[in-house]
């Protein structure tokens, strides 16, 4: 029954047609395997490259393309490969339960190397009348992290369940601007998310940077 729910629910995720779609066959999946879903976030200004084990395909993240879509991978199996950036190489070794979603953050380790943070999210059936927005926190340096509505002291995730990520359902709207708050103080300028559509899922990614915590936005799209 869970597999059926996941299949139906995925219709609510936008199917991507961007540059990553041509590189989806990174990890083989098939009709006999329950898929899981894996995406990568490059938190550095330098290019990040993923080279999967057993495949000649590669995936590169740089510039404005800092987040991949969710890539189908075999559920419950270990996904291996190599992440490379600035001449440094680290092994990738992650497993995602069938039907679940995982986000791999490639952060700086303070020595120009790569530190991986993996955040898992169990799939839930979306409300087709609502937009779904999640906050993924990969920056422990942002103490008491909150995301307020821009120009209003209203915590957008106050009523969301605890944990990482925190996901909140919102009424669809033509635009939404938010403000990151750390330790009770505003950090950086307000971030414009653009329109939030019903039956679609979105992410706010809280990342460390050389200038302090920052928010990155992404649509939770599944590559086809």
In this prediction, residue 124 carries a pLDDT of 81
* Residues 124-168 pLDDT 10s: 887 899 999 999 999 999 999 999 999 899 999 998 988 999 999
Looking at the DSSP bridge assignments, the partners of residue 185 are 182
- pLDDT (0 to 100) of residue 4: 35
Q: Which residue has the higher pLDDT, 116 or 8?
A: 116
Query: Residue 83 pLDDT > 60, yes or no?
Result: yes
pLDDT in tens, 29-81: 665 568 999 999 999 999 999 999 988 889 999 988 999 999 999 999 999 99
What's 196's DSSP letter? B
pLDDT of residue 5: 40
Report residue 129: phi and psi, to 5°: -95, -5
Q: What is the pLDDT of residue 34?
A: 86
Maximum alpha-carbon separation in the chain: 51
* Residue pointed to by tokens 């779904």: 132
**Burial bucket for residue 144 (CB in 10 Å: 0-12, 13-18, 19+):** exposed
Which class for 190: exposed (0-12), middle (13-18), buried (19 or more C-beta within 10 A)? middle
pLDDT at res. 24:
44
Token pair, residue 19, equals: 């540059």
132 SS3 class: strand
Enumerate the H helices of the chain as residue ranges.
2-9
Q: What angle do CA 54, 60, 63 make, to 5 degrees?
A: 170
Other C-beta atoms lying within 10 Å of the C-beta of residue 126: 22
What was the pLDDT predicted at 29?
67
Beta strands 131-137; 201-207: pairing state: parallel
| Token duo for residue 149 | 């509505």
Q: What secondary structure letter does DSSP report for 98?
A: T
Number of C-beta neighbours around residue 224 at 10 A: 10
Q: Which residue has the tokens 């340096």?
A: 141
Tokens 């597999």 -> residue: 3
The tens digit of pLDDT for each residue in 160-217 reads 988 999 999 999 999 999 999 999 999 999 999 999 999 999 999 999 998 999 999 9
Taking the C-alpha atoms of residue 104 and residue 37, their distance in angstroms, rounded to an integer, is 11
Share of the chain above pLDDT 90, in %: 71
Q: What is the mean pLDDT of the chain?
A: 86
Q: Which residues pair with 196 in a beta bridge?
A: 173
């Amino acid at each position: 029954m869970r597999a059926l729910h996941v299949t139906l629910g995925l219709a609510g995720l936008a199917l991507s047609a961007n540059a990553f779609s041509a590189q989806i066959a990174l990890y083989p999946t098939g009709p006999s395997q329950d898929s899981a879903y894996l995406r990568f976030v490059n938190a550095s200004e330098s290019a990040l490259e993923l080279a999967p084990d057993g495949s000649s395909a590669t995936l590169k993240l740089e510039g404005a393309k800092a987040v991949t879509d969710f890539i189908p991978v075999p559920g419950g199996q270990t996904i291996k490969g190599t992440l490379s950036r600035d001449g440094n190489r680290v092994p990738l070794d992650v497993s995602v339960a069938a039907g679940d979603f995982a986000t791999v953050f490639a952060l700086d380790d303070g020595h120009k190397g790569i530190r991986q943070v993996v955040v898992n999210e169990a799939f839930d059936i979306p409300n087709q009348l609502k937009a779904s927005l999640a906050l993924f926190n990969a920056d422990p340096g942002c103490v008491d992290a909150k995301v307020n509505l821009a120009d209003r002291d209203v915590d957008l995730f106050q009523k969301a369940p605890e944990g990482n990520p925190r996901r909140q359902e919102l009424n669809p709207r033509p635009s939404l601007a938010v403000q990151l708050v750390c330790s009770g103080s505003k950090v950086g300028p307000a971030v414009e998310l653009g329109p939030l559509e019903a039956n679609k899922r979105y992410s706010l990614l809280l990342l460390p940077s050389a200038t302090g915590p920052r928010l990155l936005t992404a649509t939770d799209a599944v590559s086809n």
